[in-house]
Amino acid sequence: MSHPLEKLIVEIQALERSVADKIHGSSGEPTDERQHQNVVFDADLRRRHRVFAKSLWRYMLDSTVMTVLTAPVIYALLIPVSMLDLFVTVYQWVCFPVYRIPAVCRHEYVVIDRHQLAYLNAIEKLNCVYCGYANGVLAYAREIASRTEQYWCPIKHARRVKGCHTRQCLFCRFGDAEGYRHELDRIRKRFTDLQ
């Protein structure tokens, strides 16, 4: 039996791909040559980019005192984010094969590439590495958690949840005991959209 929202899920996935294509494709940006996972700009473009780089000295002078004082608090999050990265990775390596849950590809979520831009100074590059890593790990962990939830507790919440993951539309309605018991095995195996 097909899920009632199957068509809508397919449409949402197509729209997400379309948005990603538009963001990364037709922005009018100069072309670059992608080699493996690195982006290589030609020498002329790099030279033009360097013109827009702000010197470290100017960057520090333009920063507010509060920006400088809060930086250690921001960067302290690297400790729990790194631990989350380690723990969810080990978790999925150990548990997902047991339950036949498809593994989440970390490199699809943790993308660190903006530090290669010549118009960023060293601090801006470090900030971009931090943001790419932290946001990537959180998205990676969320996907691991959503697949876990699909296996162990595929029941929608009674209340609307802001920012819920897309796998929730596969879940049983809150309070639908019969549907839950009838559909649980099918929902646990429904990862065909990931292939």
- 44: Cα separation from own chain's centroid: 32
Question: What's the DSSP call for residue 177?
Answer: H
Decide if pLDDT at 35 tops 50: no
| pLDDT mean across residues, the chain | 87
Which one is predicted more confidently, 109 or 56? Answer: 109
Encode 123-154: b = buried (16+ Cβ within 10 Å), e = exposed. ebbebbebebbbebbeebbebbebbbebbeeb
Q: What is the pLDDT of residues 56-105, one digit of tens each?
A: 888 888 999 999 999 999 999 999 999 999 999 999 999 999 999 999 99
Q: What is the pLDDT of residues 127-166, one digit of tens each?
A: 999 999 999 999 999 999 999 999 999 999 999 988 888 8
Q: What is the pLDDT of residue 70?
A: 96
Percent of the chain with pLDDT over 90: 56
> Where are the chain's structural domains?
29-152, 154-195
